Amino acid sequence: MDEYHTEEETAFIVEEVSTIIKESVESIIGGNAYQHSRVNQWTTSVLEQCLSQLGKLGKPFKYIVNCIIMQKNGAGLQTASSCFWDNSTDGSCTVRWENSSMYCIVSVFGLAI
């Protein structure tokens, strides 16, 4: 017999994903000042924590997570993405977090399986 799930149990909920991203970035980077030597560690930790928390949701998705950390120094940054997917099942969420010395931009793409 097939298992039936409500739409909320299998939907990509942007607010839920946004909360996971914000909590992950805040717990890992928090009030730290930008340090070039720690950026690789921070990005890896943010990605791993986001993926771990997304997996705990138990939803039928494959996730793609991207993290950019950039020092606040007046330089510009432009980024874009494009997806060919099913809008009724798949979704994405991007969060820009900042403190006094850096920006952290995290994007999550959820692809229904």
Residue type, 61: F
Residue type, 16: E
Q: How far apart are CA 19 and CA 49, in angstroms?
A: 12
Q: How far apart are CA 59 and CA 42, in angstroms?
A: 26
Element (H, E) at 88: none
pLDDT (tens place) for every residue of the chain, 113 residues total? 445 456 667 889 999 999 999 999 999 999 899 999 999 999 999 999 999 999 999 999 999 999 999 999 999 999 999 999 999 999 999 999 999 999 999 999 999 99
